[in-house]
Structure 1
Amino acid sequence: MNFEMKNKSLLITGGTGSLGNALTEHILNRFPDIRRLIIFSRDEQKQFQMAQKYPIEKYPQIRFFIGDVRDRDRLIRAFKGVDYVIHAAAMKHVHLAEYNPEECIKTNIGGAQNVVDACFETNVERVVALSTDKACAPINLYGATKLTSDKLFVAANNIKGNNPIRFSVVRYGNVMGSNGSVIPFFINKKKEGILPITDPKMTRFNISLKGGVDMVMHALEHAWGGELFVPKIPSYRIADVAEAIGPDCDKPVVGIRPGEKIHEEMITPSDSFYTYDLGKYYTILPATHQWKLTDFIEEFGAEKVSEGFSYNSGENTEWETVESLRQLIMEHVDSNFLV
């Protein structure tokens, strides 16, 4: 990677989350000459814990900034002097969003618009916003709010005028081992000898924290503005995850929760008209963009997907097995989970 951050300042909203922590570790290791890395979040306890891991005596670049993306003025103050923004803050639990819809809307939609506004009020150069597979053809409120957020960041490129800022989005599936995800849940429930399965047919996309970090950094470096990047990643069956973690556990089928799908999607047939294959990633391009499509295709060797193409976890061509899941869990989540 030729991308440099020397004398640059980067801010991560929701920076105390799983991906925020992984991004922080990657950036400090890969770009030790970064001028400033700002962790922006509203959770003071997590900031306190993270500050123990990254003491300022050893990491003089790092700063911790208490704030909420719902607070536009606080964002503007935090963004002053910032070159790059990674927007990872979100309310993400599907069932909690269904029960508390207004709170989800305030954070995921209002917060996204506040980030866009704060970027225009300051001198931010590049913005990468995190999306989710649940934003594709959403059936739950969380997915609907993240689809709206995606649209806000993509459309921001249309109103920037002569401002050189670039907004892009990355969309991926379940991050292996992230807070609140199924693998830590199953590892914890294994102690009780029972792993409740929503539906034996249920599938999900799977990406490691490292894969998520790599994708964000790819977008930060390569985005021209308006792209929505989608990784080519394997799927897993929820039943296989349960088997990998607790082969001797009871596995009662409890039914899907409100707002859940059996299979997740990341690209629909309707998206195929704007979707290009970049090799490691797909990208859904905006209907209107501020650059020449022919130049983009030439620069990245982009190939248009066929009309009607779709990408969902149930019809994927690449799958994790019980054994590969065990190996991945030991590598990326908990090396002692089999004990």
Structure 2
Amino acid sequence: MDLNSRSILITGGTGSLGKALTNHILTNYPNIERLVIYSRDEQKQFQMAQDYPQSKYPQIRFFIGDVRDKERLIRAFKGVDMVIHAAAMKHVPIAEYNPDECIKTNIVGAQNVIHASLETNVQNVVALSTDKACAPINLYGATKLTSDKLFVAANNIKGDNPIRFSVVRYGNVMGSNGSVIPFFLNKRKEGILPITDTNMTRFNISLQGGVDMVMHALDLAWGGELFVPKIPSYKILDVAEAIGPECEKPVVGIRPGEKVHEEMITASDSFYTYDLGKYYAIIPATLSWDLNEFIKTFKAEKVQEGFSYSSGENTEWETVETLRNLIKEHVDPEFKV
């Protein structure tokens, strides 16, 4: 896929993944016509603008706005070819305490992105999801599941508009804001790493892995697919051992809305799930394209009925040693035990 001479907008563009996408796009497609960073935090935009000065990156634009504001989105989307929807309220305990705010951003915001895309000339929309949207037990996960459903169903209401909507779902992004590894790296200074549950596991993906998924969906989605990567899991105890082997590790109990293990595909999803090699794709129940042609094009193989994909039952695992190497590579180049 050649993005040169195209225009892309990233909602939540000042977040961890938004910045990684920005770096990837500007590095690989220097002749992109326009890259719009859309977010509501002026301080983060100011800081990001220092890294991408207008004199060196004339194609980048910073656009203050909230996904809750449909009119602002419509204005921002004019002249944009592709939208990557990364804006969300994502902290589980904060969402539990402020449910209205989470719903306004994650559900109403998703609907606004869809409507603004349909009312302008956007050709392709990729929305970011989370493993917490799979069989959700917390409000954040429930709002992201609703968002996923809205983006998949948007392909049914587009009429003869050639726009495509798709979703990418993945696990914990290594080193992203608020995630466990930066948290533990900071807490290590105190000599204490609080463990929520000794059995807890999580999926693990690098920022670049997340970027690669988004680019895959932009390039190859037919509309309505929910892409899931094949990625390793880690045990929270191994993360703690990798970062602070000498630290105390008291068990403090799981937080409101947390799971011991995360899922990305449930047994109920297996009826619509296909193995594409590097990724799985959960396809919509109502298709706007030929399934046989899809299978042929991507050499897709239907998963077995009852198949599920859980961080606790994964076949691929990070070890203490691989985690240390990944932390040094992706999070803190100066890291050492």
TM-score normalised to structure 2 length: 1.00
- Whichever residue aligns with residue 164 of structure 1, its letter is P
State the match for 1:104 in structure 2: 102
What is the Cα deviation at residue 7 of structure 1? Answer: 1.6
What does residue 203 of structure 1 align with?
201
Give me the CA root mean square deviation. 0.5
Structure 2 Cα separation of the partners of residues 258 and 223 of structure 1: 35
User: In structure 2, what is the Cα distance between the partners aligned to 1:243 and 1:202?
Assistant: 14
Match of 1:115 among 113, 116, 124: 113
Residue in 1 aligned with 2:39?
41
Determine the C-alpha separation between the residues in 2 that align with 1:225 and 1:246.
44
Task: Provide the C-alpha distance between the structure 1 equivalents of 2:21 and 2:259, rounded to a whole number of angstroms.
Answer: 29
| Counterparts of 2:75 and 2:314, CA distance in 1 | 44
1:69 deviates by 0.2
1:233 and 1:23 mapped to 2: Cα distance?
A: 19
For 1:190-339, what aligned pairs fall within 5 Å after superposition? 190-338=188-336
SS at match of 1:167: strand
Q: Within 5 A, what are the aligned runs for 1:47-66?
A: 47-66=45-64
2-structure distance, mates of 1:6, 1:235: 36
Runs of 4+ in 1 over 2 A off after TM superposition: none
Corresponding residue of 1:92? 90
What do the CA deviations read for 1:238-262 (whole angstroms, capped 9, x no partner)?
1100000000000000000000000
Counterpart residue type for residue 8 of structure 1: R
Q: How many residues align?
A: 337
SS, match of residue 127 in structure 2: strand
Q: Per the alignment, in what secondary structure is the counterpart of residue 314 of structure 1?
A: helix
Number of the residue aligned with 1:128: 126
Partners of 1:165 and 1:223 in 2: how far apart? 11
CA distance in 2, matches of 1:37, 1:304: 37
- CA-CA distance at 1:289 after TM superposition: 1.3
Distance in 2, matches of 1:260 and 1:124, equals: 36
Deviations 1:305-328 (A, max 9, x none): 000000000000000000000000
- 5+ residue gaps, structure 1, are none
- Counterpart AA for 2:223: G
Q: Cα offset for 1:337?
A: 2.6
Alignment of 1:14-25 (within 5 A): 14-25=12-23
Give the Cα separation in 2 of the matches to 1:191 and 1:241: 16
Deviation at 1:335, TM superposition (A): 1.6
* Alpha-carbon distance between aligned partners in 2 of 1:78 and 1:110, rounded to the nearest angstrom: 17
Cα shift at 1:58: 0.3
SS at match of 2:313: coil
Q: Deviations over 1:273-292 (max 9, x none)?
A: 00000000000000011100
CA distance in 2, matches of 1:84, 1:34: 12
Amino acid at match of 2:249: K
Q: Tell me the CA shift for residue 178 of structure 1.
A: 0.0
The separation in 2 between residues aligned to 1:237 and 1:202, in whole angstroms, is 6
Give, in whole Å, the separation in 1 of the partners of 2:152 and 2:28: 28
Paired residue secondary structure (1:276): strand
Displacement, 1:61? 0.5
Report the Cα distance in structure 2 between the residues aligned to 1:34 and 1:289, rounded to whole angstroms: 32
- Cα distance, 1:120 vs. partner? 0.6
Q: Which amino acid aligns with 2:164?
A: R
DSSP-derived class of the 2:10 partner: strand
SS at the partner of 2:240? Answer: helix
Q: State the one-letter code of the partner of 1:133.
A: D
**What is the alpha-carbon distance in structure 2 between the residues aligned to residue 246 and residue 274 of structure 1?**
42
SS of equivalent to 2:166: strand
Letter in 2 for 1:57: S
Q: After TM superposition, give the deviation of residue 338 of structure 1 in Å.
A: 1.9
Aligned-partner Cα distance in 2 for 1:97–1:195: 24
Give the corresponding residue for 1:182. Answer: 180
Say whether 1:74 aligns with 2:61: no
Shift of 1:6: 2.1
Q: How far apart are residue 299 of structure 1 and its match?
A: 0.5
SS at match of 2:227: strand
Tell me by how many angstroms 1:336 deviates. 1.8
AA matched with 1:167: F
User: 1:28 — aligned with what?
Assistant: 26
